[in-house]
Structure 1
């Protein structure tokens, strides 16, 4: 592809260019290919004209060139949006190898980091990066374009399957080995969507079958099989979502004593980690709603999702399903849930990673949720706000329908768990040692989140 370098002299909001050029120095092991792939992305958010544009570069990790994070415009956009005040991001990596008989579907990534080689490579690529930057960037003779470092805890990864859903689009299932903070090894299975490649939709722990020593385990080995472990929640926000059930301790205890099983409605099933945990660890009856049938097929095949008397999955739009429940249009389901849990993210990558979808601001959605809850019920939502004003607006809309609101700070700067209670003072004492449900809940998850549920004061406070 011929590229007119003059067009890069100025920033153009949301411009995305990707092209290959001959490698200026193929001797570096981390970029040893005849061609290198360049991607240039200008932010949709541009600075005031008087400000000098901010530019950064990033070298794609070796063997991850085909990962959607680095090979798609939506992946690049999320990388850029996660780097504050960057108006142009330049990615440089090896040219992807052509797919031969679908061989890429079983490709294995193994981490390879050589700091000295990487530093030398950055020095070698500096003239190229300068050439791809707006000349106004060097107005003050600032010739330094920083190289951002992409870091995660993945040591090794193996793609198990790529497929396409009618609603979510392309997705993949992968097994990964991650490195713990104490250098321990752990194996997980992940579901990711191409539309939001930097966001892990579902993550569960997997354990190798018939293996006595983890030192011999390799996720790329055909001789080792893994089984899902549904007894542990590893996704950072799912534990605080479940911890919200501490507010229902006394209510659920009374239900159980009278022979009733607690009921949950989960909007957004994904791989089914939350659905499976509520059933296996807390003895809930669960109704799951997922819009894409292909996602459910993947959940059953790879993530241990099982339908039965205690788990029923419906392939429907979650908000429409809840509205039909509220009007009694779902014949075999009694709309009396102890908890509604919402794990749905926005499908617009231009806004970055955010949740829930903007539709949850609607009053009719909140009224429908309230009507299908028991009098002591709660409505729990994973919130990744686009901004503080987004979160405050969400709280305002919920306050118009629900008398009490609570929140749990997940602790990762991004997530909050928002809890709306149908009745005033529905909470129970989480220190009640006689409450069997609360005891079970504390054994199943970290008690720290149960103790950090904060009531959100009235707007006048």
Structure 2
């Protein structure tokens, strides 16, 4: 976040402060810390700014989704981008904090239309309470003011996500690099999913992609890479080169 950024909003809920900062070029969401929860170009809101959110889009090389579930929406930047890239896709956001969702609409240009739905509540509980298993892609980015929501690290969360994905679905998980790839997490992923990849984004995060597809099925096609990169507004090659099989 630039030092020139000025606070244009501050509010509080039961989990603490929520700030919106603006430097005239970009807008930022913060939870009372120096960490940016969201960052958006004011005049190009669909162009992702954080490296890890850009890396998440590698999942669109692995599946062409008709339904996406995003758990932990923050300022809604990823939802805005996904809607821009896939205007016919149904997007279900799940955000723990109602005030954060309100600010996503007010300050971060989150579109209001029938293609994007937003549920307010705990992400893990949402998975447990949802009966259908028709989502193609689950993206989990559950962070609080003091770091990752520990539920996202749990075996139960991985298993619940698996149950909510359709037969060709993918789960995408964002982590800070200081959270080691624990053996139990890897074992749970390997027990549930056929293909598992990891990308060190180079920006302090690593992203896991776990798919319910045949292990021999090719996931990267050159033409699709060009199409997704063009729609995203940047090349995915940087992240594709960092993609490795998680073993």
TM-score, scaled relative to structure 2: 0.89
1:374 shift after superposition: 1.7
1:363 shift after superposition: 2.9
Identify which of 116, 127, 134 aligns with 1:322. Answer: 127
Aligned counterparts, 1:178-257, within 5 A: 187-194=25-32, 197-207=33-43, 229-248=44-63, 252=64
Is contact 1:282-1:441 (8 Å) kept? no
Residue 289 (str. 1) matches residue 99 (str. 2): no
1:285-310 superposed Cα distances (whole Å, 9 cap, x missing partner) = 20000011111111110001123211
Task: Provide structure 2 residue ranges, at least 5 long, that are not aligned to the other structure.
Answer: none
1:387 shift after superposition: 4.4
Determine the structure 2 residue equivalent to 1:340. Answer: 138
1:206 shift after superposition: 1.1
Determine the structure 2 residue equivalent to 1:377. Answer: 169
Determine the structure 2 residue equivalent to 1:366. Answer: 158
SS of the counterpart of 2:5?
strand
Is contact 1:244-1:450 (8 Å) kept? no
Structure 1 residues 427 and 291 mapped into 2: Cα distance closer, same or farther (>3 Å)?
Answer: farther
CA distance in 2, matches of 1:379, 1:385: 18
Is contact 2:46-2:77 (8 Å) kept? no
CA distance in 1, matches of 2:58, 2:82: 11
Determine the structure 2 residue equivalent to 1:149. Answer: none
Aligned counterparts, 1:1-16, within 5 A: none
Structure 1 residues 344 and 380 mapped into 2: Cα distance closer, same or farther (>3 Å)?
Answer: same
CA distance in 2, matches of 1:297, 1:245: 28
SS of the counterpart of 2:198?
strand
Farther-moved stretch of structure 1 (301-310 vs 379-388): 379-388
Superposition CA RMSD, Å:
2.1
Is contact 1:430-1:450 (8 Å) kept? no
Is contact 1:246-1:450 (8 Å) kept? no
1:246 shift after superposition: 1.0
CA distance in 2, matches of 1:415, 1:424: 27
1:312 shift after superposition: 0.3
CA distance in 1, matches of 2:182, 2:42: 34
1:451 shift after superposition: 4.5
CA distance in 2, matches of 1:401, 1:278: 26
Is contact 1:246-1:427 (8 Å) kept? no
Determine the structure 2 residue equivalent to 1:273. Answer: 77
Task: Provide structure 1 residue ranges, at least 5 long, that are not aligned to the other structure.
Answer: 1-152, 178-186, 208-228, 253-260, 329-333
CA distance in 2, matches of 1:267, 1:335: 15
Aligned counterparts, 1:53-452, within 5 A: 154-166=2-14, 168-176=15-23, 187-194=25-32, 197-207=33-43, 229-248=44-63, 252=64, 262-283=66-87, 284-325=89-130, 328=131, 334-347=132-145, 349=146, 354-355=147-148, 357-388=149-180, 390-412=181-203, 414-425=204-215, 426-431=217-222, 433=223, 435=224, 438-443=225-230, 444=232, 445-448=234-237, 449-452=239-242
1:281 shift after superposition: 1.8
CA distance in 1, matches of 2:173, 2:125: 17
CA distance in 2, matches of 1:429, 1:154: 36
Determine the structure 2 residue equivalent to 1:26. Answer: none
Q: Which has the higher strand share?
A: 2
Is contact 1:336-1:372 (8 Å) kept? yes
Higher relative contact order (CA 8 A, sep 6+): 2
Following TM superposition, where does structure 1 have runs of at least 4 consecutive aligned residues deviating by more than 6 angstroms? none
1:346 shift after superposition: 4.8
Is contact 2:140-2:152 (8 Å) kept? no
Is contact 1:272-1:299 (8 Å) kept? yes
1:402-427 superposed Cα distances (whole Å, 9 cap, x missing partner) = 23210111013x21001111223354
CA distance in 1, matches of 2:236, 2:178: 29
Is contact 1:246-1:428 (8 Å) kept? yes
